[in-house]
Amino acid sequence: MRIGDIEITPLIDGEAVVAGNAFYPNLTDSDWDPYNKLLEPVFHQCQHLNTLGGYLVRAGDRIIVVDGGAGPQPKWPFAGGGFRSSLAATGLDRADVTDVIFTHLHFDHIGWASVDGKPYFPNATYHIDQRDWNWFLAPDFGFTDAEVDKSMERLELSANFCYPENDAPAVRLRPIVEQTKFFQADEELELLPGVVALDGSGHTPGQVVLELRSQGESGLLLGDLVHAQPELVDDNARGQWNFISHTDHDRAHAAVERFRKRLWDEKIPAAGGHFPGLRWGHVVRDGNKRVWEDIRG
């Protein structure tokens, strides 16, 4: 994918295949009916494919990794470990990466931040929104059963979904502190030439959307603003597509509405943090409805 002079390549780490209502517990099978083509036939049931990974962005003299997958040894239902091979397939080495930007700090986005207590990208500057850092590394943020019972918003961070001794934010992120540059994208902020951070908070306190700008063109890396394409096209998305792990559901829905309007009005191409194959697409009109259309080629 190209946005002007910026080149973007998906870095696939793995996938998670789950029932359509696993991450949207208020949905029924019939709610997914209009989007059956987005489901995969697994064990004779249609399930939702969530790709894990990130993106390699070449912008001028910068070689940027956006998000870092789930890491070397994710826990079921997450399958991963392919990030290294995806990066190698580009012809680059991890030492070539100049910058790493995390759209947010959930474990399935920071898995390759560090490995065995050392930064995985030894020469990179890591860019992290201060709001997420303060949230995820707060002393009371843990993995206990009591906390999981208390707060469904943190379900994805429980020991049922990851290995805290490897995947806890403090474990993954502490080794990169000296290489980290903090920012706060509550307003539009250019992190690097052609790479602009926009506030998308709600899924996490510091979730950002990255807008790539070059030669008069724009494209959006959405991170986990949304987890499935129907959130961007369904007119009832605000109430219906209610993702389980938002830290602030109202704020998350407001952010989705804000970016949906841009996608609808400006026809900007976009890519999500978990769209199948990390493929780009855009919202188009099909008669009297909006649909998501992958960009091919």
pLDDT, tens digit, 9 for 90 and up, residues 71-95 = 998 888 788 899 999 999 999 999 9
Q: 55 pLDDT exceeds 70?
A: yes
The per-residue pLDDT for range 117-130, each reduced to its tens digit, is 999 999 999 999 99
Return the pLDDT at 160.
67
The three-state secondary structure class of 66 is: strand
Q: 50 pLDDT exceeds 50?
A: yes
Return the pLDDT at 238.
54
Place of tokens 């007119």: 235
Q: Which residue has the higher pLDDT, 42 or 38?
A: 38
Contacts of 166-170 with CB under 8 Å at 24 or more apart are 166/71, 166/73, 167/70, 167/71, 167/74, 167/75, 167/107, 167/111, 168/107, 168/143, 169/105, 169/107, 169/110, 169/136, 169/137, 169/141, 170/137
Place of tokens 């962005």: 57
Q: Mean of the pLDDT values across residues 28-36?
A: 78
Torsion of the alpha carbons at 85, 90, 94 and 100, rounded to the nearest 10:
-110
Angular region, 204: left φ>0, alpha ψ -120 to 50, beta rest: beta
CA distance 17 to 42: 8
pLDDT band at 42 (very low <50, low <70, confident <90, very high): low
Domains of the chain: 2-294 (3.60.15.10)
Return the pLDDT at 139.
61
Task: Provide the residue type at 279 as one letter.
Answer: R
Q: 291 pLDDT exceeds 80?
A: yes
Strands (E), the chain: 2-3, 6-19, 39-42, 45-59, 62-66, 78-79, 99-101, 114-115, 118-119, 125-129, 180-183, 189-192, 195-199, 208-214, 217-221, 270-271, 281-286, 289-294
Lowest mean pLDDT among 134-138, 198-202, 252-256, 269-273: 134-138
Return the pLDDT at 147.
39
The per-residue pLDDT for range 172-211, each reduced to its tens digit, is 998 999 999 999 998 899 999 999 999 999 999 999 999 9
Return the pLDDT at 63.
99
